[in-house]
Amino acid sequence: MQIDILTVVPELLESPFSHSIMKRAREKGLLVVNTHNLRKWAINKHGQVDDYQYGGGAGMVMMCEPIANAIDELQKERKYDEIIYMTPDGKNFNQGTANQLSLKENILIICGHYKGIDQRIRDQYVTMEISIGDFVLSGGELAAAIVVDAIGRLLPGVLNDETSALFDSFQDNLLAPPVYTRPEIWRNIKVPDILLSGDPKKIEDWRYDQALNRTQTKRPDLWEKHENS
């Protein structure tokens, strides 16, 4: 999979993809992440990519021309399955969307900044708008990093044990069950006996019951979705 990211502050994206699972995914050649500085397509020598908004009001707006020129140039190299704009008024990102996007081959992500991008870009180019929550960030870079991480870890061969992702929280609209590791007894608190039984079927049933109980208690909204799925 290849993910291209358009941004005015590419430095913000250097660390998230240079460590841990994302680093391994890139080293294995399973995930290619390219950040593109939008100022490369600036309208003048000063690197301008934004301007005042029509109608007045505080905050600058990212201009059509730099973004359109960047997309047009990148599209000459590859066809994108999705062109995503990170925006607070987009669809809330969830595990289902991550699963869906992990099946794509080429994705372009546009990181908003300032007051956002000119609406005409959204109308003409963007195929999906994503929000990571009902709050506002300084720009779309950190949100884009979250989306890439969630997608990248689902690619076949990225995780050492590919079945691990199947038991993550939010798969099947359930939270993950509790997990334990050594020592068996810590501060007089013992690991549940069932996990030491060596019986895979009983352990699987216990984990499922725990996931149900956790979801019902902690996230009744998810529980409702699970019951209706």
CATH number at residue 182: 1.10.1270.20
Mean pLDDT in residue range 97-112: 97
CA distance 175 to 163: 16
Residues of the domain holding 18 = 2-152
Q: What is the mean pLDDT of residues 98-102?
A: 97
Last residue of a domain, one of 152, 178, 194: 152
Is residue 47 predicted with pLDDT exceeding 70?
yes
pTM for this prediction: 0.90
**What's the CA gap between 7 and 18, in Å, rounded?**
17
Do 57 and 118 belong to one domain?
yes
Last residue of a domain, one of 152, 185, 209: 152
Per-residue tokens: 17: 């993809």
Both 106 and 215 in one domain: the answer is: no
Number of domains in the chain: 2
Query: Taking residues 158-180, what's their average pLDDT?
Result: 78
Distances, alpha carbon 65 to alpha carbons 43, 48, 54, in Å: 7, 11, 16
The mean pLDDT value for 105-131 works out to: 97
In a domain, 148, yes or no: yes
Instruction: Please tell me whether residues 40 and 105 are part of one structural domain.
Output: yes
Residue 118 makes CB contacts below 8 A (sequence gap 6+) with 61, 62, 63, 64, 67
The CA angle 15-162-178, to the nearest 5 degrees, is: 85
Q: Is residue 158 part of a domain?
A: no
